[in-house]
Amino acid sequence: MAKDEPRTRSWGICWAYLVDSGFIREPNSESTESVMAGASKEYNPLKVWWRQYLMDRRGEKVPLWELYAFAGDETRTTWFCSASAAQHIPAELRDLTVAKNWVSECERLHQSSCGYNGSSTTSLKVIDCASRNLCKIMPGTPYVCLSYVWGNSCVAEHHSKKVPAVLPKTIEDAMYVTLQLGISYLWVDRYCINQKNAGEKHRLITNMDAVYRGATLTIIAAAGDGPDHGLPGINVKSIGQEIVSIDVSREIQTSTWNTRGWTYQEMVLSRRLLVFTATQMYFQCNAMSHMEMFSSNDPASPDRISSTVPLHPRLTVFYNLGAAPTISVLYEQLMEYYDRWLSFDEDIIKAFLGIINVFEMKHGSDHICATHIYGLPVFYNQRSPNFSLPSADGASFATFTPKSTFLHSLTWDTYPRTKPIYDALADTALYPSWSFASVKVRSKSDRTRALWIQTDPGAYGYQEDVHVWVKDTKGTSFDLDQYIFARSQRDDIDLLPTISIMSWVVTCQIKCQSSGSLNRPDYSISGFPAGSLPMLDYGYAEDQHSNTLVAMYIGSFQYLAKSRNATLLLLEEVNDLTWRRIGLFNSEHVEVDPSMDTQTFLNHLTKDRQWEMRTLCLV
């Protein structure tokens, strides 16, 4: 495009596309023309794919076009926009009849995928949107949940049977939407949980899965930074849209709502979502999605995505909603959740509990459920002491026990996105060092660290020599597998933040080698072959750590039939009785006889190091 060409609508589309895709930068002090003039010198030529077809709108065929492009090779393809006269969304009040039709369509057609078969024996406190009273409803009564950003506002102590006369605008708007959808009751944590009643608060927090799954719909306020912003288009005009659509996926993903910890499980646990962005409404259930910019013949629906006509998956925003439960999916959700921000340190584990509680997977005759130990997922079979899943190579089945899945969860690692400033060891009384929460509590606000867990437990094994015990607050020790069985009989066993592990241990030293890559220093472990780097939970300075260090074997990852590594917890002695985790080390894979016992394998791996079987208490 010549730089002196008049700025027509087509010029604006091209410019918006280049900026949106990241192919060029928004100009600062430079003029638009100078950036455009230099674009061909600085970036690869763009190839554009234009697709045009007819879309049904209330019985009338309307032309619709979509724009894709890629730069350089065809592996970097980006959907940009779609438009037609049918998609103009004026800046006016939202047509909630459209949203009501979406919900009705789902209730009518998706009972198997979006219905709720759960049962609750307790009533739920909600807001009666017509009378503004706080009341209790019985199980099975339709209600709506609200997912929003609390912001910096504090909740005043509220003992009235009515909500305050003046409410934050988002809550007021949500009450209006609920009534327009033909539903009477709204659940809002701000008023429906007695923040001063510890027992009630604990009961609801540990049962968030029932609250959100039981709701007919969850309204998501994805615009604004707090509860006073309101729902765009409800009693106040929204921004509206020009012919070229705004990417609703990007609107939601870059919202403040999408950075908050509690809102993650509110999204995952809900059966139906109605999202209010600055420009439009978006609806998604377990079986379909709708955008306000499209008619009822919705290109964002799963049938269109799976058809022969390609459509970029960004049109469906919440890709994991309604996904079949698997162990891999739960680990992926935990990693996504870890990235989010929480106002209170004590909520780090609580805000993910609902997702763990709701996990239920059937494989053959096995009925697999999940629990956790200080945030680390543990999977168990309700019908027998173990369960089987396909192994990593898919050619056989791997057998799992609660102990083996817990040891797999212990292999978490956090890595810096940006160069972090390592704090001196702070008070970690809330969480034990072996839980990922002990790291998140130190980096919850700067988002400099991300969580990583190998999502395929079928690749992890060789744990026969490893034993794990937990201890409850009464001082009773349980073998981990016994504890899981006892917990299935009663759920009131409170654990101390300690675990005891018996396994092969070797003393070691950690040496800092260089500034390294991935924004963290490179370290080496004495006695182990070069090639693998230890992953430390915090910065490590040799002059600050004079206590004994050991490496403890907790299992092996196996990717080839005769290839095996050693996965080791790096532990520092706290006192004569306890140790704390400081990192994780995965050795290089080596070819060994699969029948080789673990002690022989470890001695083979380290040559001159002497391993011994010990039981250590981790705090």
- The answer to whether the Cα torsion of 543, 544, 549, 554 is positive or negative is negative
Task: Judge residue 185's burial from the number of C-beta atoms within 10 Å of its C-beta, 0-12 exposed, 13-18 middle, 19 or more buried.
Answer: buried
- For the segment 372-413, what is each residue's pLDDT rounded down to a tens digit? 999 999 999 988 899 988 765 565 678 899 999 999 999 999
- Alpha-carbon distance 435 to 412, whole Å? 9
Domain of residue 483: give its range: 341-618
Vertex 474, ends 468 and 479: CA angle to 5°?
A: 20
- Using DSSP's 3-state secondary structure scheme, residue 185 falls into strand
Which strand (E) or helix (H) includes residue 469?
strand 467-472
Give the model's confidence band at 461: pLDDT under 50 very low, under 70 low, under 90 confident, else very high: confident
Confidence check: pLDDT of 51 > 80:
no
% residues pLDDT > 70 (the chain):
70
Mean pLDDT of all residues in 279-307: 65
Vertex 549, ends 544 and 551: CA angle to 5°?
A: 140
Within a domain: residue 324? Answer: no
Q: Contact, 249 vs 315, CB < 8 A?
A: yes
Same domain, 345 and 306: no
Mean pLDDT of all residues in 29-47: 45
Same domain, 612 and 476: yes
Same domain, 301 and 358: no
Confidence check: pLDDT of 254 > 70:
yes
pLDDT for 521 equals 63
pLDDT for 296 equals 43
Within a domain: residue 328? Answer: no
Same domain, 59 and 150: no
Domain boundary among 87, 105, 127: 87
Same domain, 278 and 363: no
Query: What is the total count of domains within the chain?
Result: 3
Give the model's confidence band at 542: pLDDT under 50 very low, under 70 low, under 90 confident, else very high: low
Within a domain: residue 325? Answer: no
Same domain, 267 and 368: no
Considering only 41-55, 243-257, 457-471, 561-575, which range has the smallest mean pLDDT? 41-55
Confidence check: pLDDT of 421 > 80:
no
Same domain, 291 and 377: no
* Integer-rounded Cα radius of gyration of the chain: 27
pLDDT for 109 equals 92
- Alpha-carbon distance 32 to 8, whole Å? 14
- Which range is most confident: 60-64, 219-223, 514-518? 219-223
Domain boundary among 87, 121, 140: 87
Mean pLDDT of the chain: 79
Comparing 153 with 400, the larger pLDDT belongs to: 400
Q: Contact, 175 vs 116, CB < 8 A?
A: no
pLDDT for 120 equals 63
Task: Judge residue 593's burial from the number of C-beta atoms within 10 Å of its C-beta, 0-12 exposed, 13-18 middle, 19 or more buried.
Answer: exposed
Here the tokens at position 460 are 């992890």
Same domain, 109 and 229: yes
Same domain, 144 and 242: yes
Closest CA to 94 of 271, 326, 292, 249: 292
Within a domain: residue 534? Answer: yes
- Alpha-carbon distance 122 to 200, whole Å? 12
Same domain, 241 and 102: yes
Look at the block and give the residue holding tokens 């909500």: 163
pLDDT for 277 equals 94
Q: Contact, 387 vs 381, CB < 8 A?
A: yes
Same domain, 104 and 75: no
- The answer to whether the Cα torsion of 149, 155, 160, 164 is positive or negative is negative
The DSSP secondary-structure symbol of 133 reads B
Domain boundary among 39, 57, 87: 87
Extended strands (E) in 364-456? 366-373, 376-381, 387-390, 397-400, 413-416, 449-452
Same domain, 67 and 111: no
Mean pLDDT of all residues in 491-500: 84
Within a domain: residue 329? Answer: no
Within a domain: residue 322? Answer: no
The DSSP secondary-structure symbol of 76 reads S
Within a domain: residue 301? Answer: yes
Long-range Cβ contact pairs of 517-525 (< 8 A, separation 24 or more): 518/415, 518/416, 519/416, 519/417, 519/418, 519/419, 519/420, 520/415, 520/416, 520/419, 520/420, 525/551, 525/570, 525/585
- The answer to whether the Cα torsion of 304, 305, 310, 311 is positive or negative is positive
Give the model's confidence band at 61: pLDDT under 50 very low, under 70 low, under 90 confident, else very high: low
- Alpha-carbon distance 172 to 228, whole Å? 9
Residue 413, beta-bridge partner list: 452
Rounded (10°) CA dihedral 11, 13, 16, 20: -140
- The answer to whether the Cα torsion of 120, 123, 124, 126 is positive or negative is positive
pLDDT for 58 equals 46
Within a domain: residue 320? Answer: no
